[in-house]
Amino acid sequence: MSVELPEVVDLQDVGGWSDEVDVLVVGAGMAGVSAALEAKATGASVLVLDRGGRLTCTSAMAGGHFYLGGGTPVQEATGWHDTPEAMGAYLQAMSPSCDPEKIRLYAEGSVEHFHWLESLGFSFERSFYPHKAVVQPDTQGLMFTGNEKTWPYDVEQQPAPRGHKPPTPGDTGGAALVVGLALDKLEASGAEVRFETGVTALVSDGTRVVGAAWKKYGDSGYIRAGSVIIAAGGFVMNDAMIEKYAPALKAVQTNGMALGNTHDDGLGIRMGQSVGGVADHMDGVFITGPFYPPGDALNGIVVNKQGRRIVNEDAYHARTAAAVFEQPDRVAYLIFDSATMVRPSYGFQPLIDGWETIEEMEDALGIPRGALAQTMAAYNEHAARGEDPTFHKAQEYLVPLDKGPWGAYDLTPGKSFYSGFTCGGLRVTCDGELLTEAATVVPGGYAVGACASNIAVDGHGYSSGTQLGEASFFGRRAGRHAARFAATSAG
């Protein structure tokens, strides 16, 4: 695959159109169907093209969390107080490089967006899952899915859970339910969705985007559109783009899995760039290899090859992974004593061995003699008093590790299993309009979802549900704006 930009088709070179619509949406994932639904509701004629089949989008592979807050009905029903201000402050702390206006709009519009999601034909269960997990195992509608309870964010804002999951049990299926319902509603509205039909390039009149070229097997053609919304996913499946922009993701190719579908090759991003758009945060990645559940796994400590702790172990799993990837040679270990030893439920981390003494463990792991012993002595001393002055781990997981023998799991990429996806994408306004390097709008061009850069920009600040939440929320805004733009430009 390539990092090269596709050629822009000059309007004058188009001999005829296979279709003419107000709004063309490229991609039928969460962002694309949300944009299409709102464009249709705004009065536009809408056509959606997707290179894959129905529900082969990356959205449909997700567990299904939507990051929502500010006082949703599920939060209120389960006794959690939240406000748009608290939600916005948390997101700004986790993603300080994001446009504050996008965060403000997302937080203030979160409750309304909750109701819009339920209007698709399902209801979030009014229940709360209290345990530490990646995804709630059953159909509970709410859980903590970020660092809200992790220092220092737990003292900056009153923690509130915001991970809303549709009522499907297990780690997957929730997002597929929502996207499927959205597609049903979209098709019932009269909008057309064509699968196995890929957009290959944008058409421009030299000033604005006026359509796109398409291909389906041996057939091809051009679609005239008042505006084009690119919702074609990220670039995790494009080795050349990963090498250039996000090399940290190469680690998941050694022993892991790219979280994406075959068509997450960055073509949407490159099409946006071809008409003058620019991309942000292309080095931002989400990488994870969770060692919880069980929650008791957080009783252990994570150390690097120098025997030093690197993170508060109760942090969100992608934040812990990000800390591992910043260590010398990316070497890290999860250490327990005999009283706390557990096996991570997913089995991503191999057990190295057990040792009767800390000195034996240091020698076996290649840690300088005395370094790990010093770390553990300090940790145990403070943990016995219910303190963690270094990382402020939550007290419920703060126990001394002083009962030998000791054991260690390997968190090192290549030995431990990691998965990940890209976070970077096209620079856009709050309404999804493509922006140039000079901060001017590319008329008629929009981008949403994983090929746009909005709130989720890296694993350090990620909370589960942010991608689906922002894809659907900003997808809707783009759909409304693109429909109005098309109507204005046609008039």
pLDDT digits (tens, 9 = 90+) for 151-196: 998 888 889 999 999 999 988 889 999 999 999 999 999 999 999 9
Checking if the pLDDT of 491 tops 70, the result is no
**Region(s) of the chain under CATH 3.50.50.60:** 9-62+173-287+419-490
Name the one residue in this structure whose structure tokens are 């990382």: 391
Task: Please tell me the predicted confidence (pLDDT) of residue 490.
Answer: 73
Say if residue 489's pLDDT is above 90: no
- Residue 348 pLDDT more than 70? yes
The pLDDT of residue 317 is above 80 = yes
Relative orientation angle of helices 100-108 and 84-94, to the nearest 10 degrees: 150
Let me know: does 83 contact 71? Beta carbons within 8 Å. yes
Pick from 210-214, 252-256, 392-396: least confident:
252-256
> 52: pLDDT confidence band, cut at 50, 70 and 90?
very high
Q: What share of the chain has pLDDT > 90, as a percent?
A: 93
In CATH, which of 1.10.4080.10, 3.40.50.970, 3.30.70.1290, 3.50.50.60 is domain 9-62+173-287+419-490? 3.50.50.60
- The pLDDT assigned to 33 comes to 98
Dihedral (CA of 425, 429, 434, 440) sign: negative
Q: Which two tokens stand for residue 219?
A: 């057939």
* SS3 category, 444: strand
State the Rg of the chain over Cα. 24
Residue 64 pairs in a beta bridge with: none
In terms of Cα–Cα distance, which of 345, 356, 348 is closest to 407?
A: 356
CATH 3.90.700.10 placement within the chain: 290-416
Buried b (16+ CB within 10 A) or exposed e, 20-41: ebbbbbbbbbbbbbbbbbbbbe
Which two tokens mark 36? 């299409």
Closest alpha carbon to 423 in 181, 167, 248: 248
Average the pLDDT over 270-299 and give the result: 97
Q: 1 pLDDT exceeds 80?
A: no
Q: In whole numbers, what is the pLDDT of the chain averaged over residues?
A: 96
Percent of the chain at pLDDT above 70?
100
| CB-CB contact of 336 with 407 (8 Å) | yes
E strand intervals along 217-368: 219-230, 256-258, 279-280, 285-288, 301-304, 332-337, 351-355
DSSP 354-414: EESSHHHHHHHHTPPTTHHHHHHHHHHHHHTTT--TTT---GGG-----SS-EEEEE--BT
**What average pLDDT does the segment 335-362 reach?**
97
Decide: 447 and 4 in contact? Cβ < 8 Å. no
Least confident piece of the model among 3-12, 59-68, 208-217, 312-321? 59-68
pLDDT tens digits, residue range 254-279? 889 999 999 999 999 999 999 999 99
**Which of 166, 159, 163, 164 is CA-nearest to residue 83?**
159
**Quick one: CATH architecture of 290-416?**
Alpha-Beta Complex (3.90)
Amino acid letter, residue 350: P
- Supply the DSSP symbol for 172: S
Whole-model pTM above 0.85? yes
